[in-house]
């Protein structure tokens, strides 16, 4: 029986080469660049994505096993149906290509007052701040 695969858009510390990529790395089956419509905010040592705002956020689409999705849920302190998740896991489409999957997003009200990352890229976050 084939194992389930999940596509997840990552845009911060889970990106290849970033601090928390090791959480997903053992479960990654494929990686491709991507962008989603939204705005990135600086929470400090990690970013927050708010979907639907003007702008594009750069990241990567990781194709992972079910174990990989569970490991990322644990890192993001996400549990389905729980009211006090820091992030919510929702379905999103890429802004430029026919790719879709999950992404961890921040509620807009929690992002209020956080500094935006104008470049839309966690890797280039200091360039325009």
- Residue 86's Cβ-count burial label (10 Å; 0-12, 13-18, 19+) is middle
Strand partners, 1: none
Three-state DSSP at 112 gives coil
Q: How many residues does the chain have?
A: 129
Report yes or no: 101 and 91 within 8 Å, Cβ to Cβ: yes
Provide the CA 20 distance to its chain's centre, in angstroms.
12
Task: In whole angstroms, give the CA distance from residue 34 to residue 56.
Answer: 10
Residue bearing tokens 């928390």: 20
Cite the active site residues. Answer: 76
């Amino acid at each position: 029986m084939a194992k389930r695969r999940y596509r997840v858009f990552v845009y911060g510390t889970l990106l290849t080469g970033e601090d928390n990529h090791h959480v997903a790395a053992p479960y990654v089956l494929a990686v491709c660049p991507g962008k989603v419509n939204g705005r990135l905010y600086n929470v400090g040592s990690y970013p927050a994505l708010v979907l639907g705002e003007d702008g594009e956020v750069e990241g990567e689409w990781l194709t992972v096993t079910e174990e990989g999705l569970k490991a990322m849920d644990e890192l993001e302190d996400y549990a389905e149906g729980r009211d006090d998740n820091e992030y919510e896991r929702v379905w999103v489409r890429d802004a430029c290509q026919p790719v879709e999957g999950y992404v961890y997003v921040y509620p807009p009200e929690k992002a209020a007052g956080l500094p935006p990352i104008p470049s839309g890229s966690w890797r280039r976050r200091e360039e325009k701040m």
